[in-house]
Amino acid sequence: MKKLFTVLIIVLIAFNSKATIHTIQVWNGYYQFLPASLTIQLGDTLQWTPLDPPTMVHTITSAIIPSGAATFDYTWQLPADTFFQYIPQIAGLYEYECTPHIAWNMLGTITVIGGTTAVTENKTSTFIIYPNPASNYIHFNTLNTIERCIIHDANGAILLSGNTEDKINISTLKNGMYFIKILGDKPKLIKIIKQ
């Protein structure tokens, strides 16, 4: 009996040690969850943290979740709270909102796919550009390598390009919508608004 119990403990530790914690940042600046959309494996942990020091009350409230999933409705207890965690137990689409800021479209979605996290590697793909909209600088918060950035308009005309570490000066652009093409180990194309 002791051997069976020991094997069960080892299996549970091995299973849980491979689970990934996915961080979603709560941003006061433009009332956003960053990233606003995320796909994770069943058994992974979601963790909401403040991007900047919380200066107002936010909630992380489940809006639409799969049948049988546990609801969540967490209110930041300012200034003491630094994060909120949730572990989805059922695969499917989870939509959540910040109830006081729903009028500002402070929404997020999580797609939870089946499978075990025990056979997955850490696939952290956190890539955040802020602020968006922006006036002068776009900042990057990423674990990925950025080799080059190209900013073009909706017609594909290249307006700015070059190497960057963690920010781009967009003050010379006219107000409007643009696209940033990030070249590096994980290329991305992201829409930005210059205001």
The confidence score (pLDDT) of residue 5 equals 43
Q: How far apart are CA 19 and CA 1, in angstroms?
A: 28
Burial 113-141 (b: 16+ CB within 10 A, else e): eeeebeeeeeeeeebbbbbbebeeebebe
Q: How far is CA 5 from the centre of its chain?
A: 38
* Integer Rg of the chain from CA: 20
Amino acid symbol at 175: N
Token pair for 20:
């990934």
Residue 46: both structure tokens together: 């979601």
**How far, in Å, CA of 169 to CA of 139, rounded?**
9
Q: What is the pLDDT of residue 8?
A: 42
Q: How far is CA 136 from CA 129, 130, 147, in A?
A: 13, 11, 21
Please list the rounded mean pLDDT of every run of 10 residues in the chain (195 residues).
46 52 84 88 87 79 90 78 84 90 88 58 55 84 73 82 80 88 74 84
Q: Are 78 and 54 in contact (CB under 8 A)?
A: yes
User: What does the pLDDT read at residue 62?
Assistant: 93
Identify the pLDDT of residue 78: 62
Q: Rounded to whole angstroms, how far apart are CA atoms 134 and 175?
A: 9
- Alpha-carbon gap, residue 39 to 165, rounded angstroms: 27
Question: What is the reported pTM?
Answer: 0.51
Going along the chain from its start, the domains and CATH numbers come out as: 19-119 (2.60.40.420), 127-194 (2.60.40.1930)
